[in-house]
């Protein structure tokens, strides 16, 4: 039987992509681990059977080149595509740079479409699977996370639409609703302090927003290796279209299903600092 193949995006050192690539390798897959900056590759480069590929998911040209390269190395097929690369941000919407917000959407939303377009022939040939990693933030309305949470809502909707449109072609599309997972990117000790514009309406609560910036979604995050193993096992062993892993992922579903919208939103924004803002710009 031919060796199964998988491409995992966002495989920089210390991230979930790196951990998932390792799990797929342990399960006998030929792994293509994609990174935008090859200087940020960690231990994956030392594992025989894992091939590092350079990929910028915000560049259609880079995506097409990657698809061509992988196609040449696999005989024109790919069994699993894991769209894990993502970009997060915590910042008040009134202070957000539109250009920076567009970068988040380019990475978290449009990259999924571009990847599906480029890799469709390879996936259709193998009757393969696309695994799109979204977030519990897609289901919650957090102050200070408007750009990120809305991008993840779009991630989920794009993924679900791809599921409908690619199912007749024999391709399965799975959406991962990921809760808190401890990665280098959300290690509070390594995240620089948040700075707001001097005239921001929210200067008074900068410390509170910065704390949200460093804790992001849930303070008690799941172990990265455990989360990676669970997600990979779910993709390989179940036929479902939704996977929930990581801290608060199941809790999010429960609260969204059984609690009134206003109550749930109020609960998760209890420590947002909004009540301290006041109505005047100088917060007098």
Annotated catalytic residue, options 24, 148, 201, 202: 148
Tokens 């991630």, residue? 155
Which entry of 134, 150, 151, 200 is annotated as an active-site residue? 134
Q: Is 203 exposed, middle or buried (0-12, 13-18, 19+ CB in 10 A)?
A: middle
For residues 88 and 126, what is the distance between their CA atoms, to the nearest angstrom?
32
For 164, list phi and psi in degrees, rounded to 5.
-65, -45
> Residue 203 and residue 283: Cα distance in Å, rounded?
9
* Residue 249 a catalytic site member: no
What phi-psi label fits residue 272: left (phi over 0), alpha (psi between -120 and 50 degrees) or beta?
Answer: alpha
Q: Are 129 and 24 in contact (CB under 8 A)?
A: no
- 69 CB neighbour count, 10 Å cutoff: 15
Active-site annotation holds for 24: no
Nearest 10 degrees: Cα torsion 214, 155, 18, 242? 110
- Positions marked active-site: 134, 148
């Amino acid at each position: 039987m031919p060796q199964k193949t998988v491409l995992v995006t966002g495989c920089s050192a210390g991230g979930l992509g790196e951990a998932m690539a390792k799990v797929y390798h342990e399960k006998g897959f030929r792994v293509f681990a994609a990174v935008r900056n090859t200087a940020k590759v960690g231990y994956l480069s030392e594992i025989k059977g894992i091939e590092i590929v350079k990929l910028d998911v915000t560049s259609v040209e880079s995506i097409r080149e990657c698809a061509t390269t992988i196609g040449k190395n696999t005989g024109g097929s790919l069994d699993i595509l894991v769209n894990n690369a993502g970009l997060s941000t915590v910042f008040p919407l009134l202070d957000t740079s539109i250009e920076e917000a567009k970068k988040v959407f380019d990475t978290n939303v449009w990259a999924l479409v571009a990847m599906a377009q480029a890799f469709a022939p390879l996936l259709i040939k193998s009757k393969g699977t696309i695994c799109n990693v979204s977030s519990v933030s897609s289901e919650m309305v957090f102050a200070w996370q408007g750009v990120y949470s809305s991008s993840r809502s779009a991630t989920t909707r794009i993924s679900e639409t791809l599921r409908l449109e690619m199912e007749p072609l024999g391709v399965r599309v799975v959406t991962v609703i990921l809760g808190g997972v401890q990665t280098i990117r959300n290690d509070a000790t390594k995240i620089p302090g948040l700075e707001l514009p001097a005239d921001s309406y929210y200067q008074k609560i900068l410390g509170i927003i910065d704390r949200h910036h460093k804790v992001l979604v849930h303070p008690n995050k799941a172990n990265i290796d455990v989360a990676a193993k669970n997600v990979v096992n779910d993709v390989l062993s179940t036929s479902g279209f939704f996977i929930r892993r990581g801290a608060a992922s199941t809790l999010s579903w429960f609260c969204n299903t059984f609690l009134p919208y206003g109550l749930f939103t109020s609960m998760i924004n209890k420590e947002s600092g909004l009540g301290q803002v006041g109505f005047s710009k100088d917060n007098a």
